Chain A
């Protein structure tokens, strides 16, 4: 029984990471109707930046904030330099850019920081076991931080005029323009935010899975499964889907398929959702009357 609870708790912890990355994927998808395959690699780069800053002696949370801010700038630049020119190009062009970006960042990471697996510090420590040893301090802290990030993102999109303008720019760019919304700027902001959310997720997961250039590749798959499960065009769905996939992955890994085949769970979820309910649990066709 304790084992099961432990598996669920650590599933929630990794689910928090998947939820963040899934949210980043959905944000880009809503604006561009494409999945940013490079989302994971961008987060890995951010984690390397954070680690480098920590190693030169900058306090952990300052390094965290700097890395997230830099990732925001990087995201804005990716949209400005790489995505804007292909905005009206056919789907395959965008997919090509995403994959190119993935390979470039991955290679750069290895070239600059090396391919050896690196340990990454956790800011969360505790002198005595938490909840009877059920969760580690890092799992608890990381889940808490992710929930704070997700809540902030939700508040931003739901209650601020800028968040509303960004949603409108994604749903219906021409109507947004007619309300005076500078749509291109909103797309750039969206990319920046997605990169920043991904960066936070990367830095939070690095102490668990250790840092190497391919750190996020598996996580991106889980996140993608989560986003699909919740509905690829639904932000709340992505978050719920991410947590669900985290728990499922852990339970199946522990009791059914074994840890070596955990990643298969993600692929099975992806295939199952696409076959049975392509819109996902929360995604639904927009009702419209004319």
Chain B
């Protein structure tokens, strides 16, 4: 069975600055893949290249066998990619309700959306309490919950998460990762998660890749990567 997402020799960057120098990796159907690495390794850039938020200069990205790196961001989203970018990508000027309505913008099945919304409130009851509030007034954790919910409302096959733990209190991070595990299983959505917190990400993931200055240096199952000496020294601290 082919992987849900594959990249082959992916090169991308910002203007003259090349950040990715030929990345090959895959996300299995139904799996959770983690991209690990230090600041500036190219993790966020990889997610942006997948969603065509930056141009791919060489190589390509395939989603379910279809090449997507020449498509516009909105068309990639419509093919089933939910992206929670760094900075979370909620529209701060809009209410929680409108952010969620926006998430379901491409859906035409009203009943399905309503059912999804109820399930999301099951995962994140606090969003229901904050339903009418302006998104900008939410706490960091609540904004992350809103961002994840918004991305899930496009009914994605693949969910891209850019540092879901960033700037959040440890307890909230635990809660969110716990829910992400449930979402992976219950919503049948594959996940590609970028994290600086390697230990946390390896707990969630089945496969992992370690990026260093735009190249993949270690890859394997989460257990293998966890056992890798270099990874342990650099990212896990033991």
Contact = CB atoms under 8 A, between A and B. Distances in A.
Given A164-B98, A164-B105, A172 B167 contact: no
Contacts of A289: 136-140
B38 interface: no
B136 A286 contact: yes
B134 interface: yes
A181 B102 CA distance: 8
Contact of B74 (A164, A180, A286, A290): A180
Interface residues of B, number: 32
Nearest to A159: B101
A183 B151 CA distance: 17
B140 A168 contact: no
Contacts of B83: 178
A171 interface: yes
Contacts of A165: 102, 105
A184 B163 CA distance: 29
B94 A168 contact: yes
A161 B53 CA distance: 24
A176 to B, nearest CB: 7
Contacts, number: 83
Interface in B85-134: 85, 89-94, 98, 101-103, 105-106, 134
B85 A168 contact: no
A12 B139 CA distance: 43
A180 B105 contact: yes
A288 B74 CA distance: 26
Contact of B137 (A178, A181, A287): A287
Contacts of A164: 94, 98, 101-102, 105
A78 to B, nearest CB: 22
A179 interface: yes
B102 A286 contact: no
Given A161-B105, A171-B91, A286-B93, A178 B51 contact: yes
A177 to B, nearest CB: 4
B205 interface: no
Nearest to B97: A164
Contacts of A179: 77, 102-103, 105-106, 150, 154
A222 to B, nearest CB: 27
B29 interface: no
Contacts of A290: 140, 167
A286 B77 contact: no
A178 B151 contact: yes
Q: In the complex, which of the residues A165, A179, A182, A289 has the most CB atoms of chain B within 10 Å of its own CB atom? A: A179
A218 to B, nearest CB: 33
Contacts of B102: 164-165, 168, 176, 179, 181
Contacts of B73: 174, 177-178
B145 to A, nearest CB: 14
B78 interface: yes
A175 interface: yes
Contacts of B106: 179-180
B98 A288 contact: no
A182 B74 CA distance: 6
Given A164-B101, A164-B105, A171-B91, A178 B77 contact: yes
A167 interface: yes
B94 A180 contact: no
Nearest to B153: A179
Contacts of B89: 172, 174-175, 178
Given A175-B89, A286-B92, A180 B140 contact: no
Nearest to B53: A174
Contacts of B98: 164, 167-168
Interface in A53-97: none
21 contacts: A164-B94, A164-B101, A164-B105, A167-B98, A174-B53, A174-B73, A174-B89, A175-B90, A176-B91, A178-B73, A178-B85, A178-B89, A179-B102, A179-B105, A179-B150, A179-B154, A286-B136, A288-B92, A289-B139, A289-B140, A290-B140
Given A164-B102, A168-B94, A175-B91, 4 more contacts: A167-B94, A179-B150, A181-B105, A287-B136
Interface of B: 51, 53, 72-74, 77-78, 82-83, 85, 89-94, 98, 101-103, 105-106, 134, 136-140, 150-151, 154, 167
